Structure 1
Amino acid sequence: MSTETITLSTRELHDLLIPVLPHAGTDKTLPALGVVRLEVRESILYAVATDRFTMAVTRHRLEEPTADVSVAIGREDALAMLKLFKYDRQTDPALELVVGTVEAETILDPADRPALTISAKDGNTLVLHGREDALATWRKILGKVIHREEKPSSPHLGLGSIYLPRWTKAIRTRSPLSVSFGASPSDPVVIRADDHFIGIWMPARLEDGARALRDSLWCKEVPLEVESAEAAQAQTRGAA
């Protein structure tokens, strides 16, 4: 396997990973989803994660031409990387990310195993072993949703509350998140933050009694107040 070097600042690495990490799987019965896929395509670096209920993708255009390459790293490894390589307002160290193979062969880690090596000028180096990559088809999944025909959306949609905080990690500026709905209440919701982030969110199933707003207690206890014709005329005479 050939090696490829990606140059990023520490801040750019954090900006790439932090929005997608909440979407990486944590279910121990599905270890293949507990990863973040890093992929270079036409000199744009993407990070992708999913747990089947949500999927998130970030993008960063690289300054130097970079060959297409990809590697999947574990969620916990990605978190460890962010803890080791830090930045602040005064310092934003440059990093080199080398996608290749583990150089030293051991019984547990064969030499041909994919790896991501991250190095900083201060000497800090971290080698992360590649994981099974279950996200190679992310473009097909995302493309099917974002290129769907725009139709009038369903008036009722269920969204799992435990997933709400995830999307705040994508916000960089005061610009609001863009939300796009499908025609059916079971269609994925698209969440977009400018051009650096996009994600899809699978709706939750609503019980029949919870779907129609008009059947809720709110509509029964807070009726629509319609002004009668007599009251309107009286108000008009009083104003005269």
Structure 2
Amino acid sequence: MTVPTALPAGTHSRTVTTTMSGRELRLFFGAVLPHASTDDTLPPITMLTLDVAGGVLHALATDRYTLGIARHPLPSGTPGAFTLGVPAAAVRAVISHIKLRASVELTLSAEALTIDQFDPQVRYHLPASDARPVLPDWRTWLAERLTATPEPVLTAARGIVLNPTYLARFRSAPRDGLGIEMRPAGRCMVITCGTHFLGLVMPMDLSKVHAEAPDPLTGWLPTPPSSRQNAA
């Protein structure tokens, strides 16, 4: 895990700066951190990708079973377009110390993420990782999947099977009382919450098991009267 260090004196780089409250920071990063892997043998999927483009900051994490993306608008007229990756574990450790009511300033460049908390004043500096982003062209990758026709694993008569452990990762996405919406696309379920979060979860393919097992609804409900009359 990368340990926060003091910002080196004399460091200069094209940077983007945005401010938010401690609560907003926790919600922003907290929505995507559950999707990062903890398997240190595969560094790219343990990273939190931060993407600056078009006046919007995106945060993305995936362990290839689920994916989460959150976005936050940058100040009007913010220039720049770059991507950096920082260890998700380091970000998780930092935000656990951020006070909910504190004012926070994020400074991003291709080289590092710096988080300044005011009152009390603390600075955290996370250098960018050398690991290649797991999804370097995530917009194109995502568009291809979101526009794909749902495959049989998502359209079977028995419905969709989701791993509850993976589904639970999305409980951090909602804010301000919003619910999550789900829809099928290609081989995955697309999960959105308001306009600030988008995610994917892979379903479990139990088609062979379903072919040999009875419908789980069998025996739960009585036979409707109309069905008994038709059978007679």
Same fold, judged at TM 0.5 (above): yes
Q: Superposed, which structure 2 residues align to 1:62-73 within 5 Å?
A: 62-66=74-78, 67-73=80-86
Identity within the alignment, %? 26
Q: Does 1:76 align with 2:92?
A: no
Quote how far apart the aligned CAs of 1:92 are: 3.4
Q: Which residue of 1 aligns with 2:225?
A: 226
Q: Which amino acid is 1:98 matched to?
A: L
Bigger radius of gyration: 1
Does the C-alpha gap of structure 1 residues 195 and 221 become closer, same or farther in structure 2, counting only changes over 3 Å? closer
Q: Which residue of 2 aligns with 1:166?
A: 169
1:117 to 91, 109, 114: 114
Structure 1: runs of 5+ lacking an equivalent? 101-113, 230-240
SS of the counterpart of 1:219? Answer: coil
Q: Which residue of 2 aligns with 1:235?
A: none
Q: RMSD of aligned C-alpha atoms? A: 2.7
In structure 2, C-alpha distance between the alignment counterparts of 1:182 and 1:211, rounded to whole Å: 23
In structure 2, C-alpha distance between the alignment counterparts of 1:159 and 1:217, rounded to whole Å: 15
After superposition, the C-alpha distances for 1:199-228 in whole angstroms (9 at most, x for unaligned) are: 011111215232688x32542564523345
Q: Which residue of 1 aligns with 2:188?
A: 188
Q: Superposed, which structure 2 residues align to 1:1-240 within 5 Å?
A: 2-9=13-20, 10-66=22-78, 67-87=80-100, 91-100=101-110, 114-122=111-119, 123-131=121-129, 132=131, 133-149=133-149, 153-155=155-157, 156-182=159-185, 187-210=187-210, 215-216=214-215, 218-219=217-218, 222=221, 224-227=223-226
- Number of residue pairs matched by the alignment: 210
Kept in 1: contact 2:35–2:67 (CA 8 A): yes
Kept in 1: contact 2:28–2:72 (CA 8 A): yes
After superposition, the C-alpha distances for 1:83-139 in whole angstroms (9 at most, x for unaligned) are: 23222xxx3313132325xxxxxxxxxxxxx22222234431111121112232221
4+ residue segments displaced more than 6 Å: none
Q: Which amino acid is 1:163 matched to?
A: Y
- Scaled by the length of structure 1, what TM-score is found? 0.77
Does the C-alpha gap of structure 1 residues 181 and 129 become closer, same or farther in structure 2, counting only changes over 3 Å? same
Q: Which amino acid is 1:167 matched to?
A: F
